Chain A
Amino acid sequence: MVQKRVLIFAEQVNGELQPIGLELLGSGRLLADKLGATLSALVLGSNIAHLASTLIGHGADEVFVADHPELAQYRTLPYRRVMTDLIKSWPEPPHTILLGSTTTGRDLAPRLAAHLETGLTADCTDLDIGPFEYSNSKDPSKSGLFRDCLYAIRPSFGESLKARILGPWKNPQMATVRPGVMVPLPWDGSRRGEVFQVPVQLDPSDLSLQIVETVRNLSQTTDLTRAEVIVSGGYGLGSPEGFELMQQLAACFPNSAVGSSRKAVDSGWIPYAHQVGQTGKTVRPQIYIACGISGAIQHRVGMDKSRTIIAINKDSSAPIFKFAHYGIVGDLYQVVPEMIRQLQQNQSQPQAHPTERIPVLQGH
């Protein structure tokens, strides 16, 4: 019998697995179990053999490792080559392929889908397996009852709707998944799986793009997907300097990051990497403190899975108070400094603020 596979792409950076890979395994495990399929993980990089056991412990049945110096850092064409070669070497394409909707996944997934001539659903927030009956007089060749289809569920129309996208006519069925949405399985050291080395054969044309420099200087203040506490500033800050206050409040918490609304990014007050929302990042911290953010639907969808949402807004009718858990109606420039003062008092050992600062962009 041919092996049915659900394949997930596990991103690594400098030999470290990114959280999205484990999130995809968590979601992929459910799909694979419903399908009676093997859950396969693919990881590409250089000197990354040690990652296989982590992927197995978090749910993979088998791990494919492509280890090659040219794969050390992500680049579209070499990664695309290795993945399509691997998939084509199998007697049957995977049933489903999942990638993260990170800058890497959104760069790679569409190239892969176009190469494989298959469908791809972007930025899903939910996935499932189910049957689908379809008839369309304009395209009768598509009609029929399809069992075991990938239900790719994603927000649409400015996030006011959830759309269920289906493409059972062709395998693999592909989707990218928002980081921070799916829940990883807990590590289980007793899990067993198989590890395969993937042959890497690159064409010189794959290597035409060269990476000159990679900078991840923003990590501490911008790793929104990993922070426990996010202090987020919006247009209500009124000026880029407001983000220094956000930074000071964030500094009261050991594992924190500064977020922002799109209007603050568009005003040039803070780099895009800090943006939370539909066209920014999805986050689910323990605490999300929204300062001067109205709570537009496009912002809400990026943060409404946060465990505790706190809003500080001077307008008591701002939509954010409809879904925040706690709110202060007041001027953030009075509330936030007082909050910082009280939190610092609470600290057993008051410490100086870190010197690191967010690069403030020039206004336009």
Chain B
Amino acid sequence: MESFVLIKQVPDQSSKAGINSDGTIDRAKAKRMLNPFDRYALEAALQTKRQHGARVTAITMGPPPAIEVLYEAIAHGVDRGFLMTDRRLAASDTLATAYTLAQTVRYAGSPDLIFCGLQTTDGDTAQVGPQLAERLGIPQVTYCEAFEIRDGILLARRAIEGGSQTVTVPLPVLVTVANSAQRLAYPTLRGAQRVQRLMRDEAARAEVIQIINLDDVGADPERCGLKGSPTIVAATEKVGEIGGNCQIFQGQSVPSLVKSLTEAASISSYVGAR
């Protein structure tokens, strides 16, 4: 079985480094990290390795430093990685990204399962997974919370509004993993040692991680980057600070605090057991 997992390096917005005062990000200065949502996807892919002996391939697209997330994935037990990196990819929107990734996936093999994080913390669109599935012409299961594979069929539970849904679908299929799925464990000792070796020894690295560009995967540059993106960010505006007129109750006895508040906020009109 072949499992692919798509991961992305994103700016760490919880760190002040590289975050400009207007809220935009200076990507060169910002601290980088693996997209938190992709940790769940990684765990899901590794589950197919533990349970079905799948070979797990991690794919990422980004500038050269993005290789760090491939190292991180390998430390967790991923078998091999692909870094798609090319200057012509700048300003890709989700449509162009999905096109580039589809070409990259085809180049890397024919996966039975493709796992993606639900969304990224820098784009927040949740669009790339389904767009990639459409490009590859395979079904998708989004918001996946838990899954099993039996006889070439994926049995999955996905989150929906106010509940969940269980579905079956034959492989190959693309799965986007919701953040209630299982957590990623710590890197394995063996994995960490393997990464140490790859970082030291370029020949060993080249056997495990392929660094590729648009020409390698036969992608049409017109469909990538700015040229291939039907949308652009035309303007940004800072979200204003609001409020400052909260009526705060403190210092009295709890019963009188609660009484003052419920009266001021006129809560009583909503009361009545359901």
A residues with a Cβ closer than 8 A to B are 13, 18, 76-77, 80, 102-104, 106-111, 113-115, 117-123, 132, 134, 136, 138-139, 141, 152, 155-167, 169-170, 208-220, 222-223, 225, 228-229, 251-256, 265-266, 271-273, 278-279, 286-287, 297, 304, 308, 310-311, 316, 321-330, 334-335, 338-339, 342-343, 346-347, 350-354, 364
Contact B95 A161 (CB under 8 A): no
State whether A323 and B242 are in contact (beta carbons under 8 Å apart), knowing that A208-B139, A209-B139 are contacts in the complex: yes
From DSSP, what is the main secondary structure of chain B's interface residues? Answer: mixed
Contact A256 B246 (CB under 8 A): no
* B160: contacting residue among A214, A316, A347, A354, CB under 8 A: A214
Closest chain B residue, CB of each to CB of A350:
B273
Known A-B contacts A209-B169, A327-B249; the reply to A113 vs B258 at CB < 8 A is no
Q: How far is the CA of A336 from the CA of B242 in the complex (A)?
A: 27
Report B's interface with A, CB cutoff 8 A.
Answer: 13, 22-25, 93-95, 98, 119, 121-131, 133-135, 139-143, 145, 155, 158-170, 178-180, 183, 226-227, 229-239, 241-250, 254-255, 257-259, 261-262, 264-265, 267-268, 270-274
Contacting pair A217 B163 (CB below 8 A)? yes
List the B side residues contacting A80 at CB < 8 Å: 134
Number of A-B contacts (CB under 8 A): 292
What residue of chain A has the Cβ atom nearest to residue B163's Cβ?
A216
CA distance A104 to B163 in the complex (A): 13
CA–CA, A18 to B161, complex, Å? 11
| Chain A facing B: main interface SS | mixed
Please judge, given known A-B contacts A273-B159, A342-B255, A347-B271, whether A316 and B237 are in contact too, CB under 8 Å.
Answer: no
Cβ-defined partner of B127 (8 Å) among A110, A169, A212: A110
> Does B24 lie within 8 Å of A161, measured CB to CB?
yes
Per the bound structure, the CA–CA distance linking A202 and B243 in Å amounts to: 53
Complex Cα–Cα for A255 and B167 (A) = 31
Find the residue from B236, B237, B272 having the highest chain A CB count within 10 A.
Answer: B272
* Least distance between A100 CB and chain B CB atoms (Å): 10
Query: CA separation between A187 and B119, bound complex, in Å?
Result: 36
> Closest Cβ of chain B: how far from A23's Cβ, in Å?
14
Contact B23–A157 (Cβ < 8 Å): yes
Given A113-B95, A170-B230: A328 in contact with B250 (beta carbons within 8 A): yes
Contact of B270 among A211, A286, A297, A351 (CB under 8 A): A286
Cβ of B98: which chain A residues have Cβ within 8 Å of it?
A: 110, 114
> 4 tightest CB-CB pairs across the interface, nearest first?
A160-B23, A119-B230, A119-B231, A323-B243
B82: min CB distance to chain A, Å = 21
Among A164, A217, A342, the residue within 8 A (CB) of B258 is A342
6 CB-based A-B contacts, threshold 8 Å: A103-B159, A114-B98, A122-B125, A265-B180, A327-B261, A330-B254
